[in-house]
Structure 1
Amino acid sequence: MNDRFFKLPPEKQRRIINAAYKVFSENCYKKAPMSEIADEGGISKALLFHYFRNKKELYMYLWTNAVETTRKAVREYKTLETDDFFEMLKRSLLSKCSLMREYPYLYSFSLRAYYETIPEIQKSVQENYNDISRASEMTVLEKIDTSKFRKDIDIKTMYTEIFYAIDGYMLKKYRSNRIVPDEIEKEVIALIDFWKKVYTQEM
């Protein structure tokens, strides 16, 4: 990757990144044309290849950028600065929805990237994602105050169930082309409030 990309004005970088997220979210890796990314980003194809040597390099940069940008947003929303599990969920949701507004296709790209079947892409993305998920689960389970939960609840099972529910919800939104941050915020916050009533002693 050419360091000159990072010397571009932030707005131009964002435009190119958003263009790439858009094209890769709408096409599988093999069928995503670099020429379309260049056109969408307002630069020439030659210049795009000047910044990124090939399609794989651009794709993996986008994945890494999605991970790092998400981590930054999670920190900015102080997601882990509470021991209330359901407050964590809300802060995490708000941080991710804020990213969807700045990078409208980031989440769609991330979902498609996880299910990409090209071996050289699939292995790197899924291994990285699984490492992140395990680390995140460990951090959350160590951090939360479990005293408010019902005594018959297995916390790890609850975490897994909620994680898969939100993942399934977002996959459904993606497949129906309904990645609308305001709508997602409203619907998922309602789910979080419901889970809090079900799993805690605050009846």
Structure 2
Amino acid sequence: MTYEKFLNLKADKQEIILNAAYEVFSKYGYQQAPTDLICEKGGISKGALFHYFGNKENLFIYAFETTLNKLNDAIDLKSVTSYHVFDFLPYITMQKLKTLEKYPYMMSFLIRSIRDNKALLQEKGILDLLKHYESSQTFLYQKIDYSTLKNSISIEDFITWQTFVSTGFITMYPDHPNKEKLMKQLITFFDTVKENFSK
């Protein structure tokens, strides 16, 4: 499916509908997600939703594909000034957060979709796109210069800790009452990590 009818909408309307799908799918899961609620939050009729996507499954697949594409586009390696671990990890995190600011539930949607719907993604041939995204993430981590990391800290442990924090932040971000404060806390975290774990 090409989704031409949806893509002919104005960009801001596409964003509203996509955000509605991200929020409802992330909270209810694909199977239980009520299309009526997606329509309500997206400000469209049920007939319009099916006019754009045909059915709920196509909307889910579109949202998943779009998420991976947006995350891949979020990292601009041309603007990277340092690959040192304490510079690069905050940089790529903040780049992704620019996308999260626009689509608050996008990462929660991605995490739940991978966890709960692998069979459907496999059936639709989307896992190859996911593997490509995962490969790009591996590529990013391979470019990191860990020479300034304390010798007593293993790289594997350090990445695991960073992943824990990122996942926790993603979980908190969509419904947090003060996103600006949360962002400042994340920046403080990166500063603290650099202070305590650099040579």
Fold shared by both chains (TM-score > 0.5): yes
Question: Which secondary structure state, in structure 1, belongs to the residue aligned with residue 116 of structure 2?
Answer: coil
Q: Which runs of 4+ in 1 moved over 6 A?
A: 122-127
- Aligned match of 2:186: 188
- Aligned match of 1:73: 74
Specify the code of the residue in structure 2 equivalent to 1:46: G
* Deviation for aligned residue 1:109: 2.0
Question: Which secondary structure state, in structure 2, belongs to the residue aligned with residue 27 of structure 1?
Answer: helix
CA distance in 2: counterparts of 1:144 and 1:90, whole angstroms: 12
CA distance in 2: counterparts of 1:169 and 1:16, whole angstroms: 24
- Aligned match of 2:158: 158
- 1:168-187 CA-partner distances (Å, limit 9, x unpaired): 4434x26x943854233222
Specify the code of the residue in structure 2 equivalent to 1:161: W
Residues 84, 147 of structure 2: 8 Å contact kept: no
- Aligned match of 1:6: 7
Aligned pairs (5 A) from 1:14-163 = 14-75=15-76, 78=79, 80-116=80-116, 119-121=119-121, 129=130, 132-141=133-142, 143-163=143-163
- 1:23-63 CA-partner distances (Å, limit 9, x unpaired): 22231212212222223222221221121122121112111
Unpaired segments of 5 or more residues in structure 2? Answer: none
Q: Which moved more, 1:47-56 or 1:182-191?
A: 182-191
Q: Which moved more, 1:107-116 or 1:28-37?
A: 107-116
Residues 100, 107 of structure 1: 8 Å contact kept: yes
With normalisation by structure 1, the TM-score equals: 0.78
* Deviation for aligned residue 1:117: 5.3
With normalisation by structure 2, the TM-score equals: 0.80
Q: 1:157 to 1:61 in 2, by over 3 A?
A: same
CA distance in 1: counterparts of 2:75 and 2:169, whole angstroms: 20
- 1:96-154 CA-partner distances (Å, limit 9, x unpaired): 3322322232233223323325742588777765653454134322x222332223433
Corresponding residue pairs, total: 197
CA distance in 2: counterparts of 1:29 and 1:183, whole angstroms: 31
Unpaired segments of 5 or more residues in structure 1? Answer: none
Query: Aligned-residue CA RMSD in angstroms?
Result: 3.0
